[in-house]
Amino acid sequence: MELVSIQSEADWLARSAFVPELRMTLDDLQGILSGYDLPRVSGSKQGVVRCGVNGCNRLHYKGFLLKLKDGRETIMGWQCGARDLGLDFKEFQTSYVERKRQADQRAAVAAAIAEAHLLAAHAGTLVEPCREALEYLLNLRGSLQRHTAFWDNLKAVAKMDGRVLRELKRADERSSAKVDVVEAARIHGLAVLFGDMSRRVSDITYTAENWPAEVAGAGRGPPSELKSTLARARKMHETVRDTEKFIRDYSTLRSAIHGMWAVHHFQLRRAGKSNALRRVLERFAGQEPVWAD
């Protein structure tokens, strides 16, 4: 039977089968959809809603949402529930919370199962772009690391969100500051060059090849298995999102590769010969991105 979450009176009033008052016997009851414990209202000690069963009308805060065999629904205060149904409200709520949690988990796993093949298919389209981006970035990183001073400055620029700063002498000699620091250039996507790339391809490949098989049949497992399956589902979604971002950042950086020259031009003009570094940047700037929005 459906388990319903009740946070306010509006939740049951919005249900099409709800009736505020009815007469019933215990034989008419199909089950209990939910318990509720409404927020207290200042100045009202007795309660804010009335029991809908058999003309009771007692005000209360705590109670039960009942479902009858004929499909109708109504509310019953906790005192009537204890007297007529033998229900302890606290024990029922504890049991209900656990049953609702398990039901929500099973629904989430069912959704994961339904989308597993679509998610895996999408992940499959990312494998080759990810592999090509990884190869490009690793080669670029290895080439630039040979130019130690430039590489160190590039790391500093990455920590400033790609902002390349330049010092300019102030025209106003009366100022105590001798120079102004201005943004000379900006290299977008630079952070991807310094991130951990070690498992990029293997993670997205695993998602593409194994996720449907992993999730198949999980919805019939015990609660402990449901929790584990949901954790893996979240991880698979994170892998897809992270891979998409990795490829986008790669494309952004590849498009901005000439901007790296600003780091050398403004910050390393006295670092020695620059022809070799210029050739590195021009070589990598000439390669087309593998994927972009």
pLDDT tens digits, one per residue of 184-221: 677 788 888 888 888 999 999 999 998 887 776 665 66
Q: Which residues pair with 169 in a beta bridge?
A: 179
Pair (21, 64) in one structural domain? yes
Interatomic CA distance for residues 114 and 273, integer angstroms: 59
Looking at residue 86, its pLDDT comes to 78
Domain count, the chain: 2
Average model confidence (pLDDT) for the chain? 79
Is 214 within the bounds of a domain?
A: yes
| Phi, psi at 78, each rounded to 5° | -65, -30
CA angle (256, 260, 261) in 5-degree steps? 120
205 occurs within a structural domain? yes
65 and 197 housed in the same domain:
no
Residue length, the chain?
A: 293
pLDDT at residue number 260: 64
What is the DSSP secondary structure assignment for residue 58, as one 8-state letter?
Answer: -
Q: Which pLDDT score is estimated for 112?
A: 77
- Give the number of other CB atoms < 10 A from CB of residue 101: 14
Q: What is the pLDDT of residue 269?
A: 47
Please report, as a single letter, which amino acid is at residue 85: L
pLDDT of residue 289: 42
Domain boundary among the residues 70, 87, 104 is at 87
Kindly state whether residue 1 falls inside one of the protein's structural domains. Answer: no
Sign of CA dihedral 103, 101, 60, 78: positive
Same domain, residue pair 61 and 139: no
Do 35 and 122 sit in the same domain of this protein?
no
107 found inside a domain: no
Residue 21: φ, ψ to 5°: -145, 140
Cα–Cα distances (Å) from 264 to 138, 165, 277, 282, in that order, read: 20, 11, 9, 13
Same domain, 269 and 146: yes
Output phi, psi for 101, to 5 deg.
Answer: -60, -45
Evaluate whether residue 109 is within a structural domain: no
Residue 26 to residue 28: CA distance in whole angstroms: 5
One-letter amino acid identity for 161?
D
Contact (CB, 8 A) for 65 and 4: yes
Which pLDDT score is estimated for 271? 44
Which residue range(s) make up the domain with 187?
Answer: 118-285
User: Which segments of the chain have a pLDDT < 50?
Assistant: 266-273, 287-293
Q: How far apart are CA 208 and CA 119, in angstroms?
A: 8
Q: Are residues 269 and 189 in the same domain?
A: yes
Q: What is the reported pTM?
A: 0.60
Give the count of alpha carbons within 13 A of 171, CB side only.
Answer: 0
pLDDT value at residue 247: 94
